[in-house]
C-alpha cells in the first residue's frame, strides 16, 4: 500500500489484513524502504495499491520500479 496520506494508507492496509485476502500487507511510503522491500522480495508475487499522485512522485514510477526489480511481475 502506497499513499501519501498516512491515515488512508494505514486504514486501507488494516482493512486488507482484516479481510484475509493477502498473506502480508505493508504500507511503504518511504522511497528507500519501498525500494529495499522490492529488492528483498523480488521473487514473490506482488500486488500494489497506490495513489497515482504522490506528492513529487507519480504512481507509474513506483510500478516501473517494481516491474524492473521483480521480473515475475
**Max Cα distance, the chain (Å):** 32
By the 8 A CB rule, do 29 and 6 touch? yes
Of 47, 45, 51, nearest to 29 (Cα)?
51
Report the distance separating Cα 1 and Cα 29, nearest Å.
8
Indicate if the pLDDT at residue 35 is higher than 60: yes
Domain boundaries, the chain: 6-69
Indicate if the pLDDT at residue 72 is higher than 80: no
Q: Kindly report the pTM of this predicted structure.
A: 0.76
Indicate if the pLDDT at residue 73 is higher than 60: no
Q: What percent of the chain has pLDDT over 70?
A: 97
Amino acid at each position: 500500500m502506497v499513499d501519501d496520506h498516512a491515515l488512508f494508507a494505514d486504514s486501507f492496509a488494516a482493512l486488507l489484513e482484516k479481510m484475509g485476502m493477502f498473506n502480508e500487507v505493508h504500507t511503504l511510503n518511504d522511497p528507500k524502504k519501498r525500494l529495499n522491500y522490492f529488492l528483498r522480495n523480488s521473487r514473490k508475487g506482488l500486488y500494489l495499491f497506490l495513489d497515482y499522485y504522490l506528492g513529487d512522485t507519480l504512481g507509474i514510477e513506483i510500478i516501473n520500479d517494481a516491474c524492473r526489480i521483480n521480473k515475475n511481475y
